[in-house]
Structure 1
């Protein structure tokens, strides 16, 4: 449960932080967007430290699948563009890969 919450928080924080930079550069918004953007990216990095994994690299690799799914949700909810079947198929493949990385039985 702790890992799921950490992944969800990390995904929301990373996407929000990156979107703040996108808004500043691509949408010509104020540089003040960088303040909450930087704070969000700090929260993202901190949240990943709560993932139950034996190595940081595995936690980050598994998070990649979660990030892709959350990005497509952001695309739909925030940007108003519905993901197509290729988006969803790709996200499912990535989530399967993330599950394999995180849940595979490994010797202690």
Structure 2
């Protein structure tokens, strides 16, 4: 359960950090948005190290599915744009793939 919590926290931190850059460059926000944005991205990287996975590449691959689902939640909750059925089908596919990567019995 620690890994899933780390992935959810990492996704929120990564999206928030990237959104700070988006806001600065695309929404004409102050350059000061980059300060919390960079801190959020550093926190994202730290949270990924908490995943109980033996190989970094496998941790990142499984995290990708969580990131996609969290991005669609951001789209819906923060940006007010509801995901369509194709977004939901795609998120389901990648979450299934992430689950296989994360929970399958891997050889060392």
TM-score by length of 1: 0.98
Query: In the alignment, what sits opposite 1:49?
Result: 49
After superposition, give the CA deviation of every residue in 1:35-85 in whole Å (9 maximum; x if it has no partner). Answer: 000000000000000001110000000000000000000000000000000
Structure 2, unpaired ranges of 5+:
none
Query: In the alignment, what sits opposite 2:13?
Result: 13
Cα distance in structure 1, aligned partners of 2:106 and 2:8: 25
SS, match of residue 107 in structure 1:
coil
Aligned-CA RMSD value: 0.7
Q: Does 1:36 align with 2:36?
A: yes
Cα distance in structure 2, aligned partners of 1:107 and 1:89: 30
Structure 1, unpaired ranges of 5+:
none
Q: How many residues align?
A: 108
Cα distance in structure 2, aligned partners of 1:107 and 1:55: 11
Cα distance in structure 2, aligned partners of 1:14 and 1:107: 30
